[in-house]
Structure formats: C-alpha cells, structure tokens
Structure 1
Amino acid sequence: MKLCAGVAKVEITTNVEGVMISDPLYAKALVLDDGTTKAVILAMDALAIGGLGDVKDDFLPKLRSRIQNELDIPGSNVLVNASHTHPQGRLLCDDAEQVNRTFEAVRQAMFHMTEVKVGWGIGYEDRISVNRNLKMKNGKHWSIRYAHPCPSDEDVADVGPIDPEIGVLRIDRIDGSPLAVVYNFASHLLIGVPDRGVTANFPGFASKVIEENLGHGAMALFLQGAGGDILELYFKDVNRPRNCEPLGTLLGLSTLKAVRKIQTREAQLSVLSETIKLPRKTDIPERIEARLQEQNELLATLRSTCLNFKTFLPLYMKYALNPQYPADYAYRYLQEARIGSKELTSMDAHNRENIDIYLRNIHTMEKLIRINEDIATMQFHKMLNDKAGVPDIPAEVQGIKIGDCVLITAPAELLVEVGLKLKQSSPYEHTFIAAFSNGYMHYAAPAYHYELGGYEVTECLLAPEWQAAYEEKAIDIIHRL
C-alpha cells in the first residue's frame, strides 16, 4: 500500500461568554498510513499539553486512549504539539470538549484519507525572532521578560543564537494538488494583536497566508520548535502596536518559498516512542538563599538619596542637554571664572553627584525587581517538585520518520541550543524538533546555563543532568527509526 494521508481541523476556542476572540483557535489533525504503520500529528493552538494553561494533565491519555480504541491507531503513535500561544485568561473550550473536538478532527481526517506523495525541505526566516538570554559583560545571562526591565545597554555584551530554519513537510495528492504543509519553527508567541483578544498569534496568520496561497483546501499545521529562549523580535518594543500579524505574514511567505522548491515522492512511515525519567532539581533552596543575600546587599545601597522623581527629572534633562553649562548661559560661567567664584561649578558638582546617586538607585530597583521575580518563581517550582514527592519526572521522547524527514519530540520548552545540537547530531539532513509535545515539564535548558542565571533555569523543574539523558534517548530513537 502506498502512503495515504488525511487532514481535518476543528475549532477549540473558549466558549466563555464575554471573552474577546481575535481569531479562532484550532486543533489540526494529519493522519498518515503507509499500510503498515499509522500515525497522527496534531497541531493545537494551545499554551501547553498539560501542566500549564487550559489543557489538563489527563487530556493526552484520554485522547490517545480514545483514538486507539475507536480508530485503531496506537496511542504511542499520536504526536500532539502545542503552539504555545499565550492567553489573556481562558483560551480553550472546556476540558471534556477539548478531548471530543480534537478526537473529531482525527476521525474526520481518517474519513478523508487519500493517496499522497511527500517531500521535505528547509525554509529560512531570521527577521522575526531574537534570543531573550542576553549575554552580559559579567559572564551571566539576563533574560528579556515583560515582568522586569531590560539591563543597562552598557552591560550587554552580546545576544544568543536563534534557529532561523523552517522545517517543512509538503504533502500532495496524487494529482499534484497540495493537501497539507507541516512547518516547524522556534519562537515564543507573546505579542498578540492590538485588541489583546484570544489569538492563535503569528502562526495563525502564517497558516492563513500559506493556505490561501496554496488553495485546493490545503491545510497548514504549525509545530512549535525548540523555542524556549526565543522571542518575537518586537516583544519589548514600546514604539509600535503589539501586533503579530506582520511577523506571521513574513513566516508564512518564507514557508511558501520553501514549499514551492520541494519535490514530492513516495515514502514510508515509522514511529518510535519511549518514556525516560529526568531528574528533578534539588538545589532550589540554596539558589533562593543566594538571591536573598543578593537582595539584601542591594537594599543596603539604597541610602542617602536626596532627590525624588519631581526634582530628579528636570535636573537630569538640564544636565544632559548642556553638560558644560547646565545651570545658566555660558557667560555666567565665564564671568564667575573671571572673578574667581565657584558658586555655579560647586552647585553643578553637588547636583551631578545627586543625579548619579538617583540613577544608581534606579538601576538597583531594576535589579531588585528581577530578583523578586526569580525568588517567587523558584519558590513555586520548589513547591511543584516537593508536591510530586519523587526525584524524577517521566518524559516521553517520540520520533516520527516520513521518508527522509524526522520529527523528534520533547515534553518541555527546549532551549534553542539543545535543538540545534540535536539537528547537528542527527544523520538526517531534515530533522525537525517538535518541543512542547506530548506533555509539559516547563523549561529544559542546556546544563551549562544553570550557573548563568537566566529565566529558564529559574522557572525549571529539571536538574542539569536532564540534558544528557534526553539527548542520548533522542539520538537513539532517531537512529532506530
């Protein structure tokens, strides 16, 4: 039997009255069957698959069980990826409806199966994302977040890497018309749209661009990649509306450019899924204590401040506009020098000292905001680990091979360097990283990041040893597919 495929989508947007909906959210299903193996790829406009947001921990086992029992597809052959779109309040329909509607998408896709050919390729888009872990001159990380200020520009040494690749899987009907495009890209979905309603974010706009251009009822399925530390470029921009549509349009057009270069062919299908155990962090109390000590040291510097904001701002502007003669016209200073007076220059020295103290206190406040956020975050994750009562977390690693294209999953927010390393280690040129899949265990950062102080190693359940264990299993599965 030749490879067959079917696609379908159902809306899963919240039905809570009064919630503003900018664009609908979907569960999109792609079912594949080569006569020997069946697989399902589900792309959900959701924050996470369990553990965070509207999708509960029992969603995946319930959905897989129903697919296996009613559609005869092994549950372990079902990949469910969350786009990681960030909600303003409730995002999805109620818990039972999520299972029912997502299952219905798979059922409809099976009903519309047709013989297909597939192809794979790589697109490129480096204009819409940035690594949020700024590399500081002191060797540490400072993460760009909405919850706290960015660091002083003079303290920033460099930015981290991004993954500009768009992994593309093209699926055509036998007559050559497009049936589906699966595209894989790494970036958080945070900006939203100007009215701040529920939105699929920039992949929603990208998928619309792809589908409208391809026609023939083709469906675009977005799979979130290793985007744990990747942000939309304009996330902190205060000079333009918070509108992700231009970013989505760029991504959609870049994906289409890759799609049109791909040649489709016959292909076989294989799936492997195994569960490993990843170690939990045990040093959170020590890290909290270190941050508390840093907090106390900074607080101790907030003394002897003469100015308040009302007096600081006009002084700062005056001394910034004319550093040489801030208090008055130049002739006043020249006359003062001629008669041997130092009234103006003494006043300037006093004012400059107070301005510098106030500016230093502002920077201290910004650091304290970040420290307070870090402490609260670590306390929350310590509570989660303590509540679990076990030293490790089960983590499913799944691989799906379609022809010479491989998808490898992680149930966590993989940071980009982990994804790039997996791609480099894979024997397959077209290896796509589907993080945020089949579960959720918060951030998964490279082991060496743990001493650098970024956000992802603060909001983290995993000990640094997770990386070696995960990568070993992921590469093992890729080689065995």
Structure 2
Amino acid sequence: MKNRIFNVAILATTLTLLATSTALAELHVGAAIVDVSPTQFPVLVNGGMTSKTAEQIKTPVSSRAIVISDGSESIALVVVDSCMIPKVLLDDAKNRAAKRTKLKPDHIMISATHTHTAPSAFGALGTDADLTYIPLLRERIVESIVNAEANLQPARVGWGSADAPEFTALRRWIRRPDRIDDDPFGNPTVRANMHAARNPENVTGESGPEDPELSMIAFESHKGVPIAVLSNFSMHYFGDSPPISADYYGLFCNGMQNFIQQKYPDAKNVVATMSHGCSGDIWRRDYAASEPSPYENIETYTDALLGIATDTLQTIEYADADTIDMAETRFRLNYRVPDHQRLQWAQQIVETLNGELPKTTTEVYAREQVLLHDLQSTEVVVQAMRIGDIVIATTPNETYAISGLKLKQQSPLEKTMVIELANGADGYIPPAEQHPLGGYNTWAARSAGLEVHAEPKIVAAAMRLIEQVSGKPRRPLAQSKGPACQATLATNPLAYWRLDEMEAPIARDSTANHRDAMYEPGVVFYLEGPASTSLAAAGEVNRCAHFAGGRLRSAIGNSQANYSVSMWFWNGMPNDARAISGWLFSRDHAHGITEFGEHVGIVGNGEHAGRLIFKQGTENETLVGETVIPRWTWNHLVLVRDGSTVRVYLNGNEAPEIESDSVKIPSTAVDQIFVGGRSDNDSNWEGRLDEVAFFDRALSADEVKRLSAK
C-alpha cells in the first residue's frame, strides 16, 4: 500500500513538472507604442548634408516595441522613428530597460527606421546630435520596452512574404569612364554615385541588385486576436515635409493598425511596426523604367505598399513557437582615417570655421576627417534571434541590398529577415568591391567611415550567429542549374563561369575541371542576368556580374589553335562614347597587344557603330558584323576558332555575324584569356556579362544553336 501511494505521488509530481515545463515553453508576446516626439523647439533634424532644424511636429515619431518570452528567455524588438541612433545611447537604454524588466541587455534589439525628418540623435555630416532631445528619446525607448513586457500574453506566431519590386530600385548607378565626377577632396574618383541615372547618358548600369521582398512576422493571441506585426522592407526612405515626421514608415504602421482594427474589433491595442531592410544603395525610383512611377507622393506610395502587406497578412498561418533564442557579438572595426596630407588640409579648413557648423560640402568633409582622426575605431554590435522557425539578423549600419541577400540566401531557415541600422549607426557600409567605384556612400565620414572590409566582416558575424541560434549550418551560395545551364555543361566546356558570385575575387568553374578564374577590381555582383533564358530554375532570378573597368582573367594552359567561347552580354555604353564601346573577350599576353592576340568587342562611334568586331594582332584586318546591337539589351555571342577560320555567331542565328576562312592561326603559347576587357586594358567592357563558357575545340553549328537557346 505504501509503495502504491509512493508511486502515485511520483506520477503526480512528474505530471506537475511536465505541465510546468509545457507552460514555461509557451510563447508570450506583448507590444507597446510610446511617442518619442520632441517637446522643446527648435530641434535639430538629421538626414541632410548641412544642419537644419524643425519648429513643429507634422506626424508623431514613435518607439514601437515587441517583447517575446518563452518562459526561460525573453527578447525585445524595438523600432524607433529616427534617422540613426548611436550605439552608446542604445546601450544606455538597454541597460536601463534591463533594470526595469526581466530582459538582459544583450537580448534587446533597437533599430532606427531611417526617417530623414526625425530629431537628430546622431551627429553626422553637417548636423550635430540634439543634446536636449537625447535624454527624452532614451527614456521613451525604455518606456516602450517596459510597457511591452507588461502586456505579455500567450501567443502564436506566423510569417508572411511578398515581392514588391515596383516599390524599390537601385539609386546607385555606375558612371561612364569618360564622365567621372570629383569627390569632396578634389579628386576624380566617382565612378558610381546615387541618382547618377537621372541622366541615362551618364551611366552604364546599376551597381548592384535590389531586394524586393516585403517580409512580415505577425503575432496573435490564442483567441485569434492580432497582437503585433513586424514588417521589413528594403527601401531607403520616402522623405516627408516638413519635419518632424515619421516618414512613410509611420503612415504604413498606422495604416496597418487601422486595417487590423477594422477587421478585428478586439485588436484595439495592436502594434504594427516597420523595420528598415538593407537599403544603403536603394530608393523608390526605378531609373531603368521606361515610365515614371505612379506612386509619386508619400500617400499613394504608402497606400499601395500597404495593400500588398495587408493582402499578405491575411494569408499568414499561425503556429505555436515553443522556443526562442538570441545571440550577440561585439567587435571593433577601424575607421578609414585621413593620411597626413588630407588631415592637414582638413584642419586648415576647420580652423576657418571658428567653431561654427560647416555650410558647404567641402567644409562638411573636412570636419569629418578631423573627427575620424580623433575616433580611429569603433565597436559594432551584430545580433541574431530565432522565434520558432523564423530568424532575424541585424547589421549596425546602412548595408547594401546585396548584404541582406547574402544572409537570406545562406540562412539555413527559409524564413529570414534582416534589419539594418540596429544597435548602432556607422553609416553606409558598402561591400568591398564598391569602394574602388567611389561615390557618396564611400566618402570617409561618420556617415560612411568604416574600413573597406567592414561589410564582409559584419555579414560573416551575422551568419555565424544565425547558425548558432538555428543550430543548423548555412546553405551554400550557388544558383540552381536550369535547362540552359545543363545544356552548356553537356557540351563539355573546358571551363564554365556562371558569374553568379556575391563577392570577389574568385569566379567558380561549374565544370569538374576546377578552372576557377579571377575577378579584377572594377566588377560588381549579383545583378539580374538574361531573364528570358532557362539558365536558373523556374522562379529563381538568374544572376550575373556588371563590369566597370575590371576584367575576368584565366590562364587556360597551352591550348590548341581550335577553341570556342560562349557568353551572354549586355552593353551599358552608348555608341557615340568612344571608338570601341567595349572589348568582350581577349586572348593575348597580359599588359599589351601582340601579333598573336585576338579580340572580340563592339564598335563605338563611327561607320560601324554598335556592331561586333573581331581583331587579330596589331596590323591584321579588322572584321566587323552587320547587326547593330541596342544598348542595355541581352544578347548571346559564340566565337568559334577552327584553324584559320573564325566565325562569330549572334543570338543563335544560323548565319555567322562575322566569318573569315583566311585568318592567321593563333599561337598556342598564349595561355591568358580576358573576359570583359582587352589584354592591354584598353576600352574594357562597361556592362553585364553572364554564363561564360570556354571550349578547347571548335563548336559545331548545332552546338552553337543549343548554347544560344532561350
């Protein structure tokens, strides 16, 4: 009898522990909104080259907080209507919030929306931080976290995603090599810059990809009542006027809340927030579009984007998420400080200001050099958090769209959101390959001052944290092999470079021959390739590289006289820019042209403008095609070298564009090939290239046709 009672007692205890464990593992979510609008005027406003102030509030600016707990861990996600918020202020707010809640400081994420019409919390360019406003902002952020935790209730979580490509586009375009601009230091370094495509004749193409994904994490009570929605979109900002304003982010959040409250009358306290996706090189206007956007004012733009968001919200399926996790890392990065000569130049200009704020671009950047010299380095914070099968990663600055895509494409969890301007503000962080192209996003200042390799270090840190919180390894970075790609591989090329990389210097060979090639500086990555081909799987964007003065190089070994090259090309140069618009392919000794070399390109100005050209040696006759190739269009080329015969095919046409049976047989001693430029770096390619295959034999007409198939 005693044993029986004892066993019953053990069973009861076990059931109690299990019940307690289940209760502890249940997801709880709370949310709150706190007004962070200034109370004293005038107030400094961020977002411009020189200082400005505001005297009134057009729309309130807010701190919107979501606290999530599984009983053992709690995390907070906070989005604040501010242009940028420094790490020191945010660390202070986190420590204060931790003292008033159960949250740990390293389990709090605070990001800025990047509205350019909010009070200045961060000194950058010609605007200082508003020291009167900062204490109010800090305390109101803390208050939003405390209030959100007080509202915790059992909840379920869901994920939604939709593409909104008409609402985001590249604003950073690559300038023509003959139209380079000067930087603020008086040097002609600007090969790429924001909004350069306002005049299409000045540019050759976008400098990177966009990320059109509008992603959402939504929480509802067990009764199906919405609690909170966190949206994320990669679009720099839609400026409102006059300040103070929450920009389009505030309109979006209020519109989402109104929609939910109309559909769910019990959701009186629902909180909608929008975080900033990676968009340092992104804006709302598509300079490549033939027609202007129908969303030319902030209201029509926001309403249309909100329509996509609300449609997506209604498709979300909710589920229990019994565990959450969060990880953080901190590390130091150097600033690109001025050398002695530039520092002296800057100090002389700053001395003339006599303590006044700078009023010209030159004065702004002179002062920034002095400040960077004083700072030398900074600490950055990177985080990742998991909510069930959803993961969020952060970057502490204005990263480019490709940075977010790197994390999304490699994340082991399909549901991945990337929030930028989180936990600090160190301005633009371009990928390393963007620095040689210059432009505003790279000019050394607190708005863009970190070391050249800051971006890959930040992305690598975020990726490691994603692996840590998910417990799974990252996915490999490689696009799928569609039917056209498989057809190329079936033709047995000696090397096949798909040019789908996200960074330099290696172009992977997709064959089993392991003949990787090397990118030179002056190439940018992961742009859209030929859209009409089946090079990637259905529904997947085929990717390519854009060449802006750099080349792809490979030592192919001592080849026979017979060889072939296949590639897709997209010319960014107008025909009247120079004698040769650009060289596509070159086989010769490096750093010059010799009698043994041969080169394929497109004629620039003159009688044969826009036509393919084949040139051998230095004195031999030049062969020219018949078809004028339009700028900014995808085309396919195959060069076939068969002894003394040369044939160049365009777009799979049965008849060669260029043909000659009496060309000098090339030397097999030449083992260097260059794609996207000539061996002597003359008139290198300006535009996109994709799917480059090299064959150590002459292709047949049938093989050429298969390679050109769309």
Question: TM class, shorter-chain normalised?
Answer: 0.7 to 0.9
**Structure 2 residue aligned with 1:341:** none
Q: Distance in 1 between matches of 2:333 and 2:404?
A: 17
Residues 12-411 of structure 1 mapped to structure 2, 5 A cutoff: 12-17=36-41, 19-50=55-86, 58-87=88-117, 94-138=133-177, 141-144=191-194, 152-159=199-206, 160-193=208-241, 196-215=242-261, 216-217=267-268, 218-233=270-285, 243-267=297-321, 268-282=323-337, 373=361, 378-388=365-375, 390=376, 392-411=377-396
Q: 1:62: how far off?
A: 1.9
Q: 1:48: how far off?
A: 0.9
The two structures have a TM-score, normalised by structure 1, of: 0.74
- In structure 1, what residue type is equivalent to 2:314? R
Q: 1:183: how far off?
A: 0.5
Q: Distance in 2 between matches of 1:239 and 1:178?
A: 33
RMSD: 2.9
- 8 Å contact kept, 1:204–1:248: no
For these two proteins, the number of residue pairs brought into alignment is 385
Q: Distance in 2 between matches of 1:269 and 1:449?
A: 36
Q: 1:24: how far off?
A: 0.8
- In structure 1, what residue type is equivalent to 2:307? L
Distance 1:234 1:158, change over 3 A: closer
Distance 1:137 1:161, change over 3 A: same
Q: Distance in 1 between matches of 2:408 and 2:423?
A: 20
- In structure 1, what residue type is equivalent to 2:328? S
1:451-480 per-position Cα deviation (integer Å, ceiling 9, x unaligned)? 001211115211212123222211110000
Q: Distance in 2 between matches of 1:65 and 1:71?
A: 10
**Structure 2 residue aligned with 1:348:** none
Distance 1:163 1:238, change over 3 A: closer
1:288-320 per-position Cα deviation (integer Å, ceiling 9, x unaligned)? 99xxxxxxxxxxxxxxxxxxxxxxxxxxxxxxx
Q: 1:210: how far off?
A: 1.0
Q: Kindly report structure 1 stretches of 4+ aligned residues shifted beyond 4 Å.
A: 88-93, 237-242, 282-289, 375-378
Q: Is 2:465 the partner of 1:477?
A: yes
Greater C-alpha radius of gyration: 2
Give the structure with the higher percent helix. 1
Q: 1:89: how far off?
A: 6.3
Q: 1:257: how far off?
A: 1.8
Q: Distance in 2 between matches of 1:175 and 1:132?
A: 44
Q: 1:394: how far off?
A: 1.1
Structure 2, unaligned stretches of length 5 or more? 1-23, 43-54, 122-129, 181-189, 262-266, 345-359, 470-710
% identical equivalent positions = 22
Q: Which has the higher contact order (CA 8 A, sep 6+)?
A: 1
Q: Distance in 1 between matches of 2:103 and 2:118?
A: 35
Q: 1:150: how far off?
A: 6.1
Q: 1:238: how far off?
A: 12
Q: Distance in 2 between matches of 1:14 and 1:238?
A: 37
Secondary structure of 2:159 counterpart = strand
Q: Distance in 1 between matches of 2:191 and 2:252?
A: 31
Q: Distance in 2 between matches of 1:153 and 1:472?
A: 36
**Structure 2 residue aligned with 1:7:** 31
Q: Which moved more, 1:456-465 or 1:269-278?
A: 456-465
Q: Which moved more, 1:459-468 or 1:207-216?
A: 459-468
- 8 Å contact kept, 2:234–2:276: yes
- In structure 2, what residue type is equivalent to 1:214? I
Q: 1:155: how far off?
A: 2.1
Q: 1:181: how far off?
A: 0.6
Distance 1:380 1:444, change over 3 A: farther
Distance 1:405 1:381, change over 3 A: farther
Secondary structure of 2:98 counterpart = helix
Q: Distance in 2 between matches of 1:14 and 1:245?
A: 24
Give the structure with the higher percent strand. 2
1:52-97 per-position Cα deviation (integer Å, ceiling 9, x unaligned)? xxxxx54212211111122121000000010010127668982222
Q: 1:134: how far off?
A: 1.1
The two structures have a TM-score, normalised by structure 2, of: 0.51
- 8 Å contact kept, 1:395–1:411: yes
Q: 1:186: how far off?
A: 1.4
1:172-211 per-position Cα deviation (integer Å, ceiling 9, x unaligned)? 1111111111001112224214xx2311111111112211
- 8 Å contact kept, 2:431–2:453: no
